[in-house]
Amino acid sequence: MFKQLLLSIKQLWFGLWSFNPKFPVRWMLVILFVGIFLEFLASDKPIVAKVEGSWYMPAIGNTLFEVGLNKRYNTIRRYKWSKHDAFMIMPLVPYASTSIDLKNASFKGPFDEQNYTSIRYRHWLGTDKIGRDVLAGLLNGCRVVLKIIFLVGIISGFLGLILGGFSGFYGDDMIRWSLSKLLVYSFGGILFAYVSYMLLKLQILESSQLELSTLLLAFLIPVLGYVIVGLLHKLVFANRLDVRLSIPTITIPLDSMFYFVIVLLTALPVTVMLLAILSYFQTPSLVLTMSLFGLVLWKGIARIVRGEVLRVKGEDYIEAARQLGLKSGQIFWKHIYPNIRKQFYVVVATVVSLSLLIESALSFLGIGMAVGEISWGVLLNQGKLNISAYWLSLFPGILLVITVYSLNTIAKEGKRRN
């Protein structure tokens, strides 16, 4: 078991320097593992403990409680586990990322003399200013990375695929709407935009801050509204009144509109915009920040998707599918999407690595980030306070570089294999 562990570490180490594409995949698997099983690796509560004759799993108890699988045990919540002598199995790192060890505060290095009762409680990678364990922080950083990957990847990937796919698929001359449809839709759009604006305004006036649920509702209302407006238009106008009244048809330059939005997003200082939006929320959480990142980072994905759709659109089988009478949506999901899927994943990976860098840079500067969640950027920020505490800037930096490198390499490898 130990030998195997040593072997896999050796493989990882040599894989790193052979620039083998296998290494990045393994590294991301390591991050995935640590991110998921964080509580078993680093926690100030034991994994398994026997208190007064009954068994508990305090390390994951809180998480289980949040999911709803567990009830809160008030008896063991406030135990000082490091002083307790009941039977228990502590995790490998007996500190949580946020637990404060005042005995070893003010930048204790890995080789400095430390104040501990048992060697298991040593801070192997040192502590920061208020005595938080760096190793536990690094492990918690893996979970932050996972959160960023999933949130930014899913949100920006979805937006990029839909918007880029639409503009590539329909181009400048494929959408022909009758004037009635255009009017009904734009009227509906303005109306529902007003409704969600009013909703947000009333909420801000009432409680002087935004809530996530209201924001979601404000996004959902226009979408729902468009569905209703579309149905209404179909019932009243489509194919009947349009023809009878000979209402003219208008071509909508979707692609040009898309181009305009892309240029605008490039010229906008996205980060400043995000921070200004974040200043509305009293407690910015990591999830919120990353969701907002996802909402603005779809630009690159949409561009690539558009190009790929343009490439695939001219193929014969698309024309054949069209002649067979398939609808646009069917053609897109059954014939185009499988052909652009790989390129799509590649560009999502690059965007995710970019967002990792942005998050760490913002945390490093100490702006706009959530309090209480230790990421690699937060540790780097702590290292900025004391330039001689190299352990605070060296280790998280190395992990960050390797992770970004891995994501980039996976993306590059995916591009090469296409």
Check residue 219 for interaction with another protein (CB under 8 A).
no
Give, for 406, the enclosing helix (H) or strand (E). Answer: helix 390-417
Contact segment (CB under 8 A) with another protein among 61-69, 111-119, 318-326, 404-412 equals: 404-412
DSSP codes of every residue in 18-35: HT-THHHHHHHHHHHHHH
Specify the DSSP class assigned to residue 57.
Answer: -
Given CA atoms 287, 293, 298, 304 in this order, what sign does their dihedral have?
A: negative
Burial of 137 (0-12, 13-18, 19+ CB in 10 A): buried
Check residue 367 for interaction with another protein (CB under 8 A).
yes
Of the candidate residues 383, 395, 410, 414, the single one contacting another protein (CB under 8 A): 383
Check residue 333 for interaction with another protein (CB under 8 A).
no
Check residue 279 for interaction with another protein (CB under 8 A).
yes
Other C-beta atoms lying within 10 Å of the C-beta of residue 181: 21
d(CA 196, CA 182): 21
Tell me the three state secondary structure of residue 240.
coil
d(CA 164, CA 127): 46
Q: Which is nearer to another protein, 98 or 189 (CB)?
A: 189
One-letter amino acid for residue 2 of the chain: F
Check residue 194 for interaction with another protein (CB under 8 A).
yes
Q: Which is nearer to another protein, 94 or 414 (CB)?
A: 414
Check residue 408 for interaction with another protein (CB under 8 A).
yes
Q: From the CB of 393, what's the least distance to another protein, in Å?
A: 5
DSSP codes of every residue in 97-153: TT-B-GGGTTT--SSS----SSGGG--TT-B-TT-BBHHHHHHHHHHHHHHHHHHHH
Check residue 272 for interaction with another protein (CB under 8 A).
yes
Of the candidate residues 268, 334, 342, 385, the single one contacting another protein (CB under 8 A): 268
d(CA 297, CA 358): 11
How many residues are listed for the chain in this entry? Answer: 418
Check residue 384 for interaction with another protein (CB under 8 A).
yes
Check residue 385 for interaction with another protein (CB under 8 A).
no
Q: From the CB of 370, what's the least distance to another protein, in Å?
A: 17
Check residue 393 for interaction with another protein (CB under 8 A).
yes
Check residue 240 for interaction with another protein (CB under 8 A).
no
Backbone φ and ψ for 363, nearest 5 degrees, come out as: -65, -35
Q: Which is nearer to another protein, 122 or 384 (CB)?
A: 384
* Contacts of 394 by beta carbon, 8 Å cutoff, 6+ apart: none
Check residue 400 for interaction with another protein (CB under 8 A).
yes
Check residue 402 for interaction with another protein (CB under 8 A).
yes
Applying the rule CB under 8 A, the residues between 137 and 156 that interact with another protein are: none
Of the candidate residues 180, 214, 291, 360, the single one contacting another protein (CB under 8 A): 360
The residue ranges that bind another protein (CB under 8 A) are 18-19, 191, 194, 197-198, 201-202, 205-206, 208, 260, 263-264, 266-269, 271-273, 275-276, 279-280, 310, 353, 357, 360-361, 364-365, 367, 380, 383-384, 387-388, 390, 393-394, 397, 400-402, 404-405, 408-409, 412
